[in-house]
Structure 1
């Protein structure tokens, strides 16, 4: 009788412990997330080559670059978040000379601050040696949540498919265990933090490798005093004005997607 009573007590204690754990599940509102961004260099360069105008002299140069380049390059990024604010930045990672040269064309190393409550985004990046600064409303994304799941960096994440920048198809994996509705770069808008993000036409993906619940550093002012921010629309208009004579509209759209995502 005592043995049965002892087992029953342990059983109910176990249930109580599980209930307490569920009741006090931790949903972090601040921390830092490390991501790895993989760029499929050869595929992306071929896509740019296919968008060149007929007779473009740069095709030969790009073909030579593609023949020498590795299939992929891996970069490191960090996202700091607190409440409805996020700050995304590149982290140093050594690359060989050829990859570094190609990444100057394929990745802008943008710093991105998002205020999700105010629906504002600020971006600062380098493009061909020139600084580009953007201040605008949050990037619009039309999401459709699916029933596909994946575990990323120890978090169960749900897949969502989206359309942004008018026609760019994207895939995201988010976790509602981190309630901030942000993600890497300028992506956002799901009911939780985005830990995985794929842009097929830009031939890159970015996945979280580590989530740390530490006090983050959120940089809200990422511009220099002399910088004059532009909207995304203004940046695209200036790019078209300067480069439209030797670049197709399709190629300019590709470039804009790489800048703004």
Structure 2
């Protein structure tokens, strides 16, 4: 309890000390998502040669290991993937990989305004531009007693339970009964019954909730963090939801070059729920299209279907 009181007092003292100056900061985050479940499914897919499997695993590794930049001030922030030159895709699987990448939590500029408790993110999906505007998730953080040092900053642990996004590929799990990876892959590869139409999400195992662990530092007194994480008395330096770890590797306070922290204005304005519905509908269309071509259905969406 004394540690928590000290944390709050330190945060308030530092925050009030920054009110008189034009404060801004920048943080670099490395995001890594475990792909072991997907590798197990790949190994059980008899339609893939070892060479194809290796290529897909390499692409997945790149897709799920990314660098993001967070620029923040006292009330708002922008979070964006570090710009890199795209590597040309091979073997005609670029369309499927791009589809999968759009479901992997990347793309667009994520703007958070913690004062207004709102966010705006611009997303390009299937050749169309969307502007998602919605309220920030109200996570009920539980302050824990553990501490650790990250990048020279003293950090405190906090945990929360949050609902799982249905359109973030990183949240997909194998079904509990699918213990045999080969049987799982073969089952997914079977052609669909022409007279029986099932929902795409019926073939996915998606937990309703997930436990999120955050490490934050009161030494950087802003109510910010990566993606849509916020609400702690200090900058969040690490997020772990069991599958994805987002770790801060660098913090720069009051950089010489100030970022323009503003929300994007491009794209068709939709709520998060509306955008999720659009994505799920497209997943359905891709599955039916791939099955109609005699393909692997959902497996082709995951591993790179035809353009």
TM-score (norm 1): 0.66
- Measure the CA separation in 1 of the matches of 2:159 and 2:25: 25
With over 3 angstroms needed to count, the CA separation of the structure-2 counterparts of 1:211 and 1:199, relative to structure 1, is farther
Contact 1:124-1:131 at 8 Å conserved across structures: yes
Pair 1:131-2:129 in alignment: yes
Q: Which has the higher strand share?
A: 1
- Measure the CA separation in 1 of the matches of 2:58 and 2:69: 29
**1:58-69 superposed matches below 5 A:** 63=53, 65-69=55-59
1:232 to partner: Cα distance: 1.2
With over 3 angstroms needed to count, the CA separation of the structure-2 counterparts of 1:64 and 1:84, relative to structure 1, is same
Give the aligned partner of residue 9 of structure 1: none
Pair 1:78-2:69 in alignment: yes
Name the Cα RMSD after superposition: 3.9
- Measure the CA separation in 1 of the matches of 2:79 and 2:37: 23
Counting matched residue pairs gives 218
Give the aligned partner of residue 161 of structure 2: 163
SS, match of residue 191 in structure 1: coil
- Measure the CA separation in 1 of the matches of 2:252 and 2:37: 29
Give the aligned partner of residue 238 of structure 1: 278
1:135 to partner: Cα distance: 0.2
1:40 to partner: Cα distance: 3.5
- Measure the CA separation in 1 of the matches of 2:78 and 2:107: 13
Q: Which runs of 4+ in 1 moved over 6 A?
A: none
Contact 1:75-1:93 at 8 Å conserved across structures: no
Pair 1:180-2:222 in alignment: yes
1:31 alignment partner, one of 21, 24, 30: 24
Contact 1:34-1:76 at 8 Å conserved across structures: no
1:122 to partner: Cα distance: 0.5
- Measure the CA separation in 2 of the matches of 1:171 and 1:129: 35
Contact 2:123-2:129 at 8 Å conserved across structures: yes
Q: Structure with the greater relative contact order (CA < 8 A, sep ≥ 6): 1 or 2?
A: 2
TM-score (norm 2): 0.58
1:153 to partner: Cα distance: 2.4
